[in-house]
Amino acid sequence: MEFDLAQTDALLTTTRSVRKRLDLDRPVPREVILDCIRIAAQAPTGGNAQGWRWLVLDDPEAKATAADLYRRSGREYLASYRSRPLDDQTGKVIDSADYLLEILDRVPALVIPCIKGRVDDPAPFWQASHLGSIIPAVWSFQLALRSRGLGSCFTTLHLAHEAEAAEAFGIPAGMTQVALLPVAYTKGTDFKPAERRPADHITHWNHW
């Protein structure tokens, strides 16, 4: 199989955290979300456990509940950034994050990816095996959205109230929520690669 490298690399390098350019007025059909979850389920899982589950909120009341939980920890967290000097890139991220916090309940769908099991042991073996069995799938989901003209943003702020979210949405005990993704069509699709440190600055060969 030959890939179109230009297109594949463009998808991988321009899938940004979208907040201000989420289209709040264009509905997202459930089939599109299911299609992206079908693609995400090709991601790897430890021991091929496939313990992922996806909670999709598209009901206004459910979204408002999730947005409340997000704001409860998010307002304070984002305000803490304002008390220190911010470089340009971080300042823009915080502005954008503030915006997302305010409009979260108006985003067409909020997706909470979950993974079966709870891991309290902080040892990397357990943490990496557990979270590593869902986060690659989440990124695949975000890439699949992007290739269909939709955008999303990996967020974790609601997890400060994970137990309350579990209670509100009937998430069974023993599941771990890993994120909350706002999902919407994007206003325009012309996203750009972000500035990153060069690969040879962050890579070590054979010895650190």
Q: Interface residues with ligand FMN (CB under 6 A)?
A: 16-17, 93, 97, 100, 153-157, 194
Q: Judged by CB, which is closer to ligand FMN: 7, or 90?
A: 90
Half-sphere exposure at residue 74, Cβ-oriented, CA atoms within 13 angstroms:
23
Q: Judged by CB, which is closer to ligand FMN: 196, or 204?
A: 196
User: Which residues, at least 6 apart from 121, have a Cβ–Cβ distance to it below 8 Å?
Assistant: 127
Residue 174 Cβ vs ligand FMN, minimum distance, rounded to whole Å: 22
User: Which residues, at least 6 apart from 164, have a Cβ–Cβ distance to it below 8 Å?
Assistant: 69
Residue 93 Cβ vs ligand FMN, minimum distance, rounded to whole Å: 4
Q: What does the DSSP 8-state code read for residue 125?
A: H
Q: What angle do CA 199, 179, 66 make, to 5 degrees?
A: 145
Residue 205 Cβ vs ligand FMN, minimum distance, rounded to whole Å: 26
In sequence order, the β-bridge partners of residue 54 are: 113
Q: Judged by CB, which is closer to ligand FMN: 13, or 42?
A: 13
Q: What angle do CA 64, 69, 143 make, to 5 degrees?
A: 80
Q: Judged by CB, which is closer to ligand FMN: 172, or 188?
A: 188
Residue 207 Cβ vs ligand FMN, minimum distance, rounded to whole Å: 28
